[in-house]
Chains A and B, each alone.
Chain A
Amino acid sequence: EAGVAQSPRYKIIEKRQSVAFWCNPISGHATLYWYQQILGQGPKLLIQFQNNGVVDDSQLPKDRFSAERLKGVDSTLKIQPAKLEDSAVYLCASSFSRLAQDEQYFGPGTRLTVT
């Protein structure tokens, strides 16, 4: 079974520029998550999709971050404009559903450096 795919793996941009990350979840997984992991910390949920609808975006900085999951499969996360504090690893995860017993499978992440 193929895992969660993410691209790019690394990205370096200057502050105030924009950037986009792409995620392809495991086939058949209805729930997709985007996490932000700052160095030395655990992942923090940014947004959760159930199919193509948003379930939770309470921790997404909506003035600069946006995400979409068209057709309920692939997803993109965009930052515009980027700030220095956005430097982090952005992890995508998926699960079969959002029920409590479903484990989440994580992709390798995109490491973003904002200079």
Chain B
Amino acid sequence: EDQVTQSPEALRLQEGESSSLNCSYTVSGLRGLFWYRQDPGKGPEFLFTLYSAGEEKEKERLKATLTKKESFLHITAPKPEDSATYLCAVRVGGSNYKLTFGKGTLLTVNP
């Protein structure tokens, strides 16, 4: 069974304090690893898709990387508006390419 584990469950940072979120996965036939951001009371918002080990993508203060077993979401000099739950999901091959999500990491950035 496909498994996605995110750590830590919660992370508190001071504004400007860089850190990383981890997403480890056990799947067969990975067809993409997705990062989403979810604000309270809202649906997940797409951030990145990574397809192969060694791939990196950046967006403002966020950088996502992928290895054969895990992905990291690096947050550089975070601001309070980066506070949210960050969800990782994997898509495997098959007839429907469905997403399997992790439980998420709740990030709080204090001013």
Asked if A40 and B103 make an inter-chain contact with CB atoms under 8 angstroms apart, the answer reads yes
Asked if A43 and B101 make an inter-chain contact with CB atoms under 8 angstroms apart, the answer reads yes
Asked if A41 and B42 make an inter-chain contact with CB atoms under 8 angstroms apart, the answer reads no
Asked if B43 and A45 make an inter-chain contact with CB atoms under 8 angstroms apart, the answer reads no
Closest to B44 in A: A106
| Interface flags, A65-105, vs B, CB<8A=1, else 0 | 00000000000000000000000000101000011110111
Interface check B87, CB cutoff 8 A: yes
Interface check A44, CB cutoff 8 A: yes
Number of interface residues of A (CB under 8 A): 23
Interface check A25, CB cutoff 8 A: no
Asked if A98 and B43 make an inter-chain contact with CB atoms under 8 angstroms apart, the answer reads no
Interface check B96, CB cutoff 8 A: yes
Asked if B43 and A109 make an inter-chain contact with CB atoms under 8 angstroms apart, the answer reads yes
Of the A-B pairs whose beta carbons lie under 8 Å apart in the complex, a sample of 8, sorted by A's number, is A42-B102, A56-B95, A56-B96, A91-B43, A93-B43, A100-B93, A106-B43, A108-B43
Starting from the known contacts A43-B87, A91-B43, 9 additional A-B residue pairs (CB-CB under 8 Å) come to A42-B87, A42-B89, A43-B99, A44-B101, A98-B97, A99-B97, A101-B49, A103-B34, A108-B41
